[in-house]
A and B are shown apart, each in its own frame.
Chain A
Amino acid sequence: MSNIFTPEQLKNFPDAKGHFGAYGGQFVSETLMGSLEALEEQYNRLKNDPDFQREFDQDLADYVGRPSPLYFAERLSKEVGGAKIYLKREDLNHTGAHKVNNTIGQALLAKYSGKTRIIAETGAGQHGVATATVAARLGLKCKVFMGSEDVKRQSLNVYRMKLLGAEVCAVESGTKTLKDAMNEAMRDWVTNVDDTFYIIGTVAGPHPYPMLVRDFQAIIGREARRQILEKEGRLPDALVACVGGGSNAIGLFYSFLCDEKVAIYGVEAGGHGVDTGEHAAPLCAGRPGVLHGNRTYLMSDENGQISATHSVSAGLDYPGVGPEHSWLKDTGRANYVSVTDDEALDAFRKLTRVEGIMPALESSHAIAYGMKLAASMDKDKVIIINLSGRGDKDIHTIAGIDGISI
């Protein structure tokens, strides 16, 4: 099989059972199977419903502020001295990241299904904020699960969620980070399955979540494709996006999967370095397994226990990854690489000083790799980096690293 797909082939991913090749699927306890079936059925009906689509598109335009700009980072490109670097400005969305594209979509599903309560897991807090935001707008009860470690390092977002009326539950089990927040959200969902809609924040989890989150995020790539054709009159040579669960990345990549000449790079969190074992890079250094409802690349030990992960960025600090990325890796369509905490921090400072744009630490991973990649390319080449979120939420982390308390 060629690693470039035809649009016809792409329609089969996922297949009817939610599989992307060997990955994906529905690995959950029986209590949730009925809800997943109902969600899938509802989504399949609504995704072709013009009223639903119109409402979604209108919310993205008037509430989120789409389309987000595709910005030519001229000074950064010059400094790097290689390919032209364009930034897809998801940081300019309402609530400050790409996450809201998906929460708008899933909140509409919740509304159409008559659920009165919303739950979500969050790592950096961006998805939590985006969920609390749509819950406030629709007048739905909202509870967000967040690892207690992340509650500490993302206090600004915790307070934002509370201001929006959400209850934030600090999860003390396991490693007290995103994976444990997701465990706890699943436990809540099992218990309150009748009235509760679980808004998963990334392209992971049981089918149909990886599919529907991808579909809601695919607006990023559809816009970017149109915008680059307008600005450059051609497709980009490469795409770069950070990958934790991988929703911003799949959102950018999806519209380009059939374009042979577009190289695709997903950037994982290398933490202290992939060879130290202290990282969050399952595609680069993990192996396939099953967690949180899907088969995918995971960081786990030889006994199948999920490993503790490390990244300076809470949003990438997750031992799994969306199953579609696992499939794109195995087919060779996308390349997965990693950058370390230090490289990401340097990129944060660089973009801030050179372009006056403060990226989220997650997105800083994409910036770091994008700069390296651009430097290795000729000046007539073009790359798009997904600037998935803004960095305000990370100011405390950066200041702490600088030894400043604010």
Chain B
Amino acid sequence: MSRIKSVLAALKANNRKALIPYITAGDPHPDYTLGFMHSLVNAGADIIELGVPFSDPMADGPVIQLACERALIHNVSLKDVLEMVRVFRETNTVTPVVLMGYLNPIEMMGYSKFVSAAASVGVDGILVVDLPPEESEDFAGLLRENEMDSIYLIAPTSSDERIKSICEHSSGYVYYVSVKGVTGSGALDHLEVQAKVNHIREQSQVPVGVGFGIKDARSAAEIAKFADGVIVGSVLVNAIADNQRDSAAAQSRLEEIIASMRQAMDEVTSPQV
């Protein structure tokens, strides 16, 4: 069983939900990323989504665009991101790491070189924002061979037919994009998201993570009531942006946010006795 599957299964057995933070690798400096990853885990993260910086992040809002720009000042490459995961694995062998990014850096490295490198450093899943299942036959095959999970997005605009097909292609979890828009978009409508997540569940057993628009402990808890995972990105990247020159301050801010979300989520899913 993949690391992602076993983490999600263990959480489910305890009636808890996965907290899945996203940060952009190398933002604001490549030396900070490792510390940030450990902080996220210490504060209660279950899975880490690590963003691979890209010059043209079309599906992202200004917060993550700027994070990419900060990382790219230091020329943080896909190779560098893989190296960060390798070093992370020296001290943490339990927390799954999902790389999230855009296709072109992977195209330049070459699919098979990338997938085997990612597998060997201990990456657990890949989410390529601009690679829908229709275009990913070769890539997904390589991931399967290397026992990594393929994570795909489902959007509010996805038809039933597409939801079904995406779930069939997905392993680990599917990422439900809770709002029409880019990352960091405005407030989400919990009831609408809940209805859609229930709808996805009717079609598939794959766990459902919900992301986009989750800004604080309260909205994380709302989502945790019905989703398997809560994905949170822009609010963390903002915290990093606010503390660019002080990695310790950024780290403690990340811990605060994650810890408060963790607590709020656990309160609604496993009532204290």
A residues adjacent to B (C-beta < 8 A) = 17, 25-35, 37, 173-174, 179-180, 183, 186-187, 190-194, 288-293, 295, 298, 300, 302-306
Contact = CB atoms under 8 A, between A and B. Distances in A.
Interface string B217-261: 000000000000000000000000000000000000000000000
A291 B104 contact: yes
Nearest to B59: A29
| In the complex, the 6 A-B pairs of residues with the closest C-beta atoms, listed nearest first | A304-B105, A304-B108, A31-B155, A303-B77, A191-B181, A30-B153
B130 A290 contact: yes
Given A190-B180, A290-B104, A304-B78, A30 B154 contact: yes
Nearest to B159: A34
A31 B180 contact: yes
Contacts of B185: 191
A198 to B, nearest CB: 12
Interface stretch (B13-21, B50-58, B142-150, B262-270): B50-58
Contact of B59 (A33, A173, A190): A190
A193 B180 contact: yes
Contacts of B182: 187, 190-191
Nearest to A192: B180
The main secondary structure of chain B at its interface with chain A is loop
A306 B104 contact: yes
B135 interface: yes
Contact of B55 (A25, A194, A295, A306): A306
A26 B65 contact: no
Contact of A305 (B54, B61, B177): B54
Given A34-B155, A304-B104, 14 more contacts: A27-B130, A27-B135, A30-B162, A31-B155, A31-B180, A33-B158, A34-B157, A186-B59, A191-B181, A192-B180, A289-B104, A290-B107, A303-B79, A304-B107
Contact of B108 (A187, A193, A300): A300
Interface in B48-91: 54-62, 65, 69, 72, 75, 77-79
Given A173-B65, A290-B103, A26 B58 contact: no
Could you say which of A30, A193, A298, A302 has the most chain B C-beta atoms within 10 Å of its C-beta? A30
